[in-house]
Amino acid sequence: MGAQDLNFLSLASLLVFLIPIIYFNTRLKLVINKTLITSIIRMCVQLGFVGVYLEFLFKLNSPLLNSVYLLIMISIACQSIIRSCNLKFKLFFVPLFFSLLIPFVVILFFFNAVVVRIDNLFEAKYLIPIGGMLLGNSLRSIIIGLSNFYAGIQKDEKVYLYSVSLFNNRMQALKPYFLQSFSAAIAPIIASMATIGLVSLPGMMTGQILGGSIPAVAIKYQIAIMFSIFYIEYFSTMLAVIFSLKVGFNELDVLNQDIFVANE
């Protein structure tokens, strides 16, 4: 049993609700119509492509190809995080790539090997959608963590440097900025775990139920996914800050001002 297929016409029927939205935006002089339409077109085109190449990946089910696909996903996630944090791509890409890759690989393979217990750990059907879901969810926390950390020190540079002189230890001086940004980064997932099921029914569960799974199975998967998302957010945010220190600060512990992309 699977979800009923949607034909293109019925999918397109959802555009009907865009008409009043565009009308209201125009009347209210809310200048978002162009961005809105661009985003909708991008969403449809990107998902259309995903549909095509996922079918291709599922059909081939090649461990090498699946792994390359995951690495590309991580690279795109890094690019998106760095852009959102207003940091320089060429400086932060490598540290960020490894801070995502390490927890991602450990948790993803643990999920597949120990939790789901599939024989082929590179099975496209599990590796790609679950990998994508874990990665997509961890973006938010790394963005919050990394941007709060560097923006906090930049704003508070005199206090940070004074702490370096008093503590004579960079890690001690960095500690309050790390704690503040790290708690802000993981607060949303902790809040989300506390309200899941009451306020929201998560996408994975909905998808599984529509795909024919019984709610009990869908819920078990959802719990496993929530654990995994939390672990990846926790470790990747922590590693993102730690791995980026080498590029973020000069050898005398002073914040490198050229890590930030200048605001236009």
Partner 1 sequence: MNNIPEPVNNHAPKSQTMIKFESVCLSLQGKEILTNFDLTILKNEKVLIQGKSGIGKTTLFKLLLGFGTIDKGKVIFNGCKISKAHITGIREQIFYLSQDIDLRDGIINNLINEILKANSISYKNDKLNELLTFLDLNIGILEQNVKDLSGGERQRVGLLICFLLDRPVWLFDEPTSALDDVMKKKIVDFILDQEKTIIIISHDSVWKKNRNIKIERWE
Q: How far is the CB of 254 from partner 1 (least distance, A)?
A: 6
CA neighbours within 13 Å on the CB side: how many for 83? 6
For partner 1, which residue of 129, 132, 176, 207 counts as binding (CB under 8 A)?
176
Residue 123 near partner 1 by CB under 8 A: no
* Region from 64-72, 90-98, 206-214, 248-256 binding partner 1, contact rule CB under 8 A: 248-256
Candidates 159, 193, 209, 223: give the one binding partner 1 (CB under 8 A): 159
Query: Which residue in the set 101, 161, 193, 245 belongs to the binding site for partner 1 (CB under 8 A)?
Result: 161
**Burial profile 106-125: b = 16 or more Cβ within 10 angstroms, e = fewer:** ebbeebbeebeeeeeebbbe
261's CB contacts (< 8 A; 6+ apart) are: 86, 87, 88
φ/ψ bin of 80: left (φ > 0), alpha (ψ from -120 to 50), beta (otherwise) = alpha
- Residues that bind partner 1 (rule: CB under 8 A) add up to a total of 18
Instruction: Quickly tell me which residue has 């939790």 as its tokens.
Output: 115
6 Cβ contact list (under 8 Å, min separation 6): none
Q: Which is nearer to partner 1, 184 or 226 (CB)?
A: 184
Give the angle subtended at the CA of 31 by the CAs of 25 and 32, to the nearest 5°: 80
3-state secondary structure of 62: coil
Contacts with partner 1 in 85-104 (CB under 8 A)? none
Which of 137, 148, 163, 208 touches partner 1 (CB under 8 A)?
A: 163
Q: Which of 158, 195, 214, 257 binds partner 1 (CB under 8 A)?
A: 158
Residue 172 near partner 1 by CB under 8 A: yes
Q: Which residue type does 246 have? A: K
Question: Does 184 participate in binding partner 1 (rule CB under 8 A)?
Answer: no
CB closer to partner 1 out of 55 and 157: 157
Distance CA 91, CA 96 (A): 9
Q: Which is nearer to partner 1, 176 or 188 (CB)?
A: 176
CB of 159 to partner 1, least distance (A): 5
Which residues of the chain form contacts with partner 1 (CB under 8 A)? 156, 158-159, 161-169, 172, 176, 251-254
